[in-house]
Chain A
Amino acid sequence: MRRTGFVDAVDGLGQHDHICWVFHTLEQFRQAAGRFLTDGVAAGQQVIYLAEGASATELDHVAGFAAARMSGAALVQDLGIYEPLRPVDAAAQVAEYERATDQALAAGFTGLRVAAQVTPLARTPAQLDAFTRYEHHADALMIRRPFSAMCGYHAGELSAAAVAELASMHPLATPGSTPLRMFPSAQPEVTAVLAGEVDLAGRRLLHDVLRRVDLTPVDGAVTIDARDLTFLDHRGLFQLVDQVRARGATTVLHVAERSPVRLVAELLALPDVRLVMS
């Protein structure tokens, strides 16, 4: 069971969890990454610490990390290997992590866990667009493989809007980083999960998110799990349905029994929207 929502600590995350960690100082990131990775080591995972110019001993002060590094359970990598000046190649990068996960399993680990300070990969608009799409595909990999990740973004180096775009592609994020999130679902019949709240403040963000998320219809329908969507205004519903309609599909919306989302969708009664109550 993957965790979703807003969290201000990385402790206790599972084998498939994917968190956007927005930090204000590099030291904050190192501390959180140390906890996240040593949790992984304790759970038998192979772990990777990835940061710009990272030195091999950067996390050795974290209890257990140095020993894990010596045994090969923990790796430290310099972000420089990812050609940080170019937009990420999402498919190649996801394939790379899938291979790395398989190798970790073959070596006897229970899975792979990565803590990456990836701010340098999302600095320009082109990089940001490519990286948000990559985050979505990586998240899909985390559902099907024992692969978990903590993606660190420096709030001082990215605009609040850029942070929101990045955070919105994660099932887990630090509080205040984004009003809404959209990500793949572990349920095969669900195309994507839409969570948080959608109103005027998130209008532009939703537009971007809907461009980036894979909304490929199945049997003429795109199924959105909106049970954790606490608010959706009518413009947001139109935005969502328009995107699905453009793919020639109807929208199936899973909604909580007593929610404003259900109320708005029922009243608008759009002909190509079907509500499923849960």
Chain B
Amino acid sequence: MRSGAAAGQAGIVHDTAFYDSDEQFLDVVLPFLQEGVAAGEPTVSVFGEPKLRLLRDALGPASSVLLIDGQGHYLRPAVAIQRHRQMMAGYVADGATQIRVAGDVPHPGVGVAWEWWARYEAAANRVYDDFPMYALCPYDTRTAPPEVLDHARRTHTHVVTPSGREPSSAFQDPHEFLASALTPVAEPLQARPALVDVIDPSPGRSRQAVAALQAVAGLAADDLNGLLVSTSEVVTNALVYGRGPLRLQAWADRGRIIVTVTDRGPGPADLTVGLMPGAGPGGYGLWLAHQTCSYVSMWRGPEGFTVRLVADSPGA
């Protein structure tokens, strides 16, 4: 039995809300969490400070709401999905009929590029749909840019307000949204001439070319290894699934390497690819990139399909 607006529904119920004050935030989020607790449902909050403290104070010390610090939780969408799915699988195994999760997805208003989080919000409708998940993603209209607020309406089926819950008239099928809405984040480093520009490199040659930029970038060992794995996997995908010629370009600065891989093909049909592992061998390449890189962008353009991998080592 599912409580609240999700009663009688299967799979994910994915709501958004908009607020411009702490009071409005609490007016929307507190009832959502308290209803879950009252219904005996696993109830999870994933907000960073200062919202975390606000909720902790409002809920009181005896609350059974699981308070996760969103700061560390929402670093990479593919990692967040993996953690949420593991967590929900555990709750379902223990007999839960609904899991409530409220959280704030990062965006440029808090210093994080939006693109792959927009993909996350659209993909959530699919990647969590095998769980009885009731999700609430509130956005702060004081900090979230207009594009983010627009995308929130287009990726959530309903909007919650203190006075009720209404269908979002802007909601789009995730596939339609992903095919049209996203523009890759601008990377100023790419305005410089590429330090690597190679046509049809093998995966091994691609790794060598990127590894050579370590002299400039000085990335931490794990960050470099993650980028080498990602580059190799994305080049392999382009060679196996894409259409030639394949172009590898890379840029580097202290603490940062950017790699783009472009092939002439249309790219994967499903642009949620990479957020979840695919089935079996061959289905993990983009997912590994999403697990290890600081940022991954994908787009279709006149020159074909491009994957851009960014590795950052702050303080390098």
Binding site for B on A (CB under 8 A): 179, 197, 199-201, 231, 233-235, 238-239, 258-260, 263-264, 267-268
> Contacts of B288 on A, CB cut-off 8 Å?
234, 264, 267
Tell me if B297 is interfacial: C-beta within 8 Å of chain A: no
What are 26 A-B contacts defined by CB distance under 8 Å? A179-B204, A197-B204, A200-B236, A200-B239, A231-B204, A233-B229, A233-B233, A234-B233, A234-B281, A234-B284, A234-B288, A235-B236, A235-B281, A235-B282, A238-B281, A258-B222, A258-B225, A260-B225, A260-B228, A260-B229, A263-B225, A263-B226, A263-B292, A264-B288, A267-B291, A267-B292
Which of B279-316 touch A at CB < 8 Å?
A: 280-282, 284-285, 288, 291-292
Q: How far is the CA of A258 from the CA of B203 in the complex (A)?
A: 20
Q: How far is the CA of A239 from the CA of B280 in the complex (A)?
A: 11
B285:A231 contact, CB within 8 angstroms? no
Q: Which of B221, B282, B291 contacts A258 (CB 8 A)?
A: B221
Tell me if B202 is interfacial: C-beta within 8 Å of chain A: yes
> Contacts of A238 on B, CB cut-off 8 Å?
280-281
Given A235-B281, A264-B288, 12 more contacts at CB 8 Å?
Answer: A197-B204, A199-B204, A200-B236, A200-B240, A231-B207, A234-B281, A235-B282, A238-B280, A239-B281, A258-B225, A263-B226, A267-B291
Q: How far is the CA of A233 from the CA of B225 in the complex (A)?
A: 12
> Contacts of A234 on B, CB cut-off 8 Å?
233, 281, 284-285, 288
B229:A264 contact, CB within 8 angstroms? yes
What 0/1 readout, one digit per residue, does chain B (182-224) give for beta carbons within 8 Å of chain A? 0000000000000000000011100100000000000001100
> Contacts of B222 on A, CB cut-off 8 Å?
258, 263
> Contacts of B284 on A, CB cut-off 8 Å?
234, 268
B226:A199 contact, CB within 8 angstroms? no
> Contacts of A239 on B, CB cut-off 8 Å?
281
> Contacts of A259 on B, CB cut-off 8 Å?
225
Which of B37-89 touch A at CB < 8 Å?
A: none
Q: How far is the CA of A263 from the CA of B204 in the complex (A)?
A: 17
User: A263 and B240 in contact (CB under 8 A), knowing A201-B203, A231-B207, A234-B281?
Assistant: no
User: A201 and B204 in contact (CB under 8 A), knowing A233-B229, A258-B222, A260-B225?
Assistant: yes
Q: How far is the CA of A29 from the CA of B240 in the complex (A)?
A: 39
Q: Which of A231, A258, A268 contacts B232 (CB 8 A)?
A: A231
* A156 smallest CB distance to B (angstroms): 24
> Contacts of A263 on B, CB cut-off 8 Å?
222, 225-226, 229, 292
Q: Which residue of B lies closest to A269 (CB)?
A: B82
User: A201 and B225 in contact (CB under 8 A), knowing A233-B232, A239-B281?
Assistant: no
| Top-8 shortest CB links A-B | A238-B281, A234-B284, A199-B203, A258-B221, A260-B225, A235-B281, A200-B236, A260-B229
> Contacts of B204 on A, CB cut-off 8 Å?
179, 197, 199, 201, 231
The size bracket of the interface on B is 20 to 34
A200:B202 contact, CB within 8 angstroms? yes
Which of B226-255 touch A at CB < 8 Å?
A: 226, 228-229, 232-233, 236, 239-240
Q: How far is the CA of A111 from the CA of B285 in the complex (A)?
A: 49
Q: How far is the CA of A199 from the CA of B292 in the complex (A)?
A: 18
> Contacts of A258 on B, CB cut-off 8 Å?
221-222, 225
Q: Which of B225, B232, B291 contacts A199 (CB 8 A)?
A: B232
Q: Which residue of A lies closest to B291 (CB)?
A: A267
Q: Which of B202, B226, B236 contacts A233 (CB 8 A)?
A: B236
Most chain B beta carbons < 10 A, residue from A201, A231, A239, A267:
A267
A199:B228 contact, CB within 8 angstroms? no
> Contacts of B228 on A, CB cut-off 8 Å?
231, 260
Q: How far is the CA of A201 from the CA of B232 in the complex (A)?
A: 11
* B62 smallest CB distance to A (angstroms): 36
* B277 smallest CB distance to A (angstroms): 8
* B203 smallest CB distance to A (angstroms): 4
What 0/1 readout, one digit per residue, does chain B (264-287) give for beta carbons within 8 Å of chain A? 000000000000000011101100
* A116 smallest CB distance to B (angstroms): 31
* A93 smallest CB distance to B (angstroms): 34
* A230 smallest CB distance to B (angstroms): 9
> Contacts of A268 on B, CB cut-off 8 Å?
284
Q: How far is the CA of A238 from the CA of B228 in the complex (A)?
A: 19
* A253 smallest CB distance to B (angstroms): 16
Q: Which residue of A lies closest to B79 (CB)?
A: A267
Most chain A beta carbons < 10 A, residue from B229, B239, B282:
B229
Q: How far is the CA of A268 from the CA of B203 in the complex (A)?
A: 20
* B3 smallest CB distance to A (angstroms): 33
Q: How far is the CA of A259 from the CA of B285 in the complex (A)?
A: 17
> Contacts of B225 on A, CB cut-off 8 Å?
258-260, 263
